[in-house]
A and B are shown apart, each in its own frame.
Chain A
Amino acid sequence: MAWLNNSILEDMGYFSDIYQGIKSLLTGMSITGKYFLNFRKGSITQQYPENRETLKMFERFRGEVIMPHDENNEHRCTGCQACEIACPNGSIEIIWDRQLDEESGKKKKMIDKHIYHLGMCTMCGLCIEACPTDAIKWGQNFENSVYDRKYLDRVLNKPGSKLMKGVEE
């Protein structure tokens, strides 16, 4: 190493060099020794697969995009496609058609399928930011490993679900 050519050896005495070396090593080892003896205090390691029941992620944690449904199987998505436009990498695909609205008797734009490709998602949050009706939000589930990527393409609206009343006003 370059320190052999350096002047460090010359301007420091041989024995004081040894003394300094041992002293600095002991200083470092006293710190690691302190942590070694107090290993229970201040330990931040989590025993992950064992603590799955108690592990709670933060409420804003970006795990996956979900669409909440209420007890009547109704969601808030009007099919405006703002999330599809906002998404930078095409993770969201909305298939919609015009269905007959029972109340007004007119044909109205409604979602058929809200498809979310989790495998393409970069968790940037722009879709949720763009949604005018708060139809989609972040879910805290992060255990998304599957055996085939086709399981990562999800339909967010549940089968038979319809639009919640009063969302469009």
Chain B
Amino acid sequence: MEPIVVNNNFKSEEYFINMGPQHPATHGVLRLLLTIDGEIIKKVEPDLGYIHRSIEKMCERDSYQQIVHLTDRMDYLSSNINNEAVCLAVENALQLEVPERVKVVRTIIGELTRIASHTLWWGVTGMDVGAFTTFFYGFRDREMINDIFEETCGARLTMNYNIPGGLMFDIHPNFVKRTKEFVAHFKTKLPEYDALLTNNVIFQHRTKGVGVLTKEDAISFGASGPVGRASGYSCDVRVHHPYSALDKVKFKEAIRTEGDTFARYKVRIQEMWESLSIIEQLIDNIPEGDHKVATNAVIKLPKGEFYQRVETARGELGVYIISTGTKNAHRVKFRSPGFSNLSLLNHISVGSKIGDLVAIMATLDLVIPDIDR
């Protein structure tokens, strides 16, 4: 009787699969073309353009006041910081000095926006790796911030509260009280976040050592925000090029050196603590004064090129305006953090599994309208 010969020389074959554009883990209409061998990822190619609205072209059509509301629709989770970027660029071009009150309020609302964005990110990150509770807990705390925004400016997400020259209207009388309530409330909730997800063994095993990005790669890919800082690259615009009232506050830049998915997670948790500290330093002494300085009804920038960078919840947003002296911009370019952070997805996810890719994408914190514009 002949022995049965088992042929172990199976040759696996690479194949191609689509992830998205309607996949819940891609957080929007991002299509990833995956080349996989078994479950090991060989190549990730993002396919963009599903939500392209030609915002940069529309900025050439609209006046400078009207540009501001378009930036709400880019990175909608940090809409107020995007508005601030355009307003600062226009104010710098006009050499307009805004009142101290405006600077402080802008900074407070910017940090509140950052916390709102990070709580939502924390919720969906938990959901991506299979913990559904975090989604509700994150949204519960974000709701308080949204209520503050709704009372002060009327909108919850696409705020359009900044205008070139200041704020659209003054803060609501309840703003300070509600913000203090939120800070006190959120300080008791952040340790819960740690107990629920950070210290969870399953979560740590899913994230530690996954998607490692070295500091050199972070710099060469142009990573910014928490993605860059998790790799030890000090890239916080708030520290290096402070704008608004950020030069008056003291805070520590959240930096970790591991560069893996867990480090990116920890950086964002640390950033929420720092944002709380910034709000606490400013909320008690908002200077009195006007909420805006008068500008012409038709704003005409002087001839030239103007650039302004701000730190959104996702990284560095740059606004580049070329003006020829008319009431419309000749060209507006946005350097969006999501686009640069997406470019390194292929680099850090090759060799890992599909489940790891979901965890990596969750901590890159991509907002697709920010990438496509």
Contacts and interface: CB of A to CB of B under 8 A. Distances in A.
Given A2-B210, A125-B160, A58 B154 contact: yes
Interface in B111-167: 133, 140, 143, 150-155, 158, 160, 163
Q: For chain A, which range describes its interface: under 10, 10 to 19, 20 to 34, or 35 or more residues?
A: 20 to 34
Interface in A104-134: 122-126, 129-130
User: From DSSP, what is the main secondary structure of chain B's interface residues?
Assistant: helix
Interface stretch (B18-26, B102-110, B195-203): B195-203
B206 A125 contact: no
Contacts of B195: 27-28, 31
A17 B264 CA distance: 24
B154 A24 contact: no
Contacts of B52: none
B155 A62 contact: yes
Contact of B163 (A25, A58, A82, A129): A129
A125 B151 contact: no
Interface string B351-373: 01101100000000000000000
Nearest to A61: B154
Contacts of B163: 129
A54 B356 CA distance: 47
A144 interface: no
Interface residues of B, number: 40
A43 to B, nearest CB: 9
24 contacts: A1-B355, A2-B210, A2-B353, A3-B206, A3-B209, A6-B205, A21-B201, A24-B200, A25-B200, A28-B200, A31-B192, A32-B196, A60-B150, A60-B153, A61-B150, A62-B155, A86-B65, A88-B62, A88-B70, A123-B154, A124-B69, A124-B72, A125-B168, A129-B168
Interface of A: 1-3, 6, 8, 17, 20-21, 24-25, 27-28, 31-32, 44, 58, 60-62, 82, 86, 88, 122-126, 129-130, 138
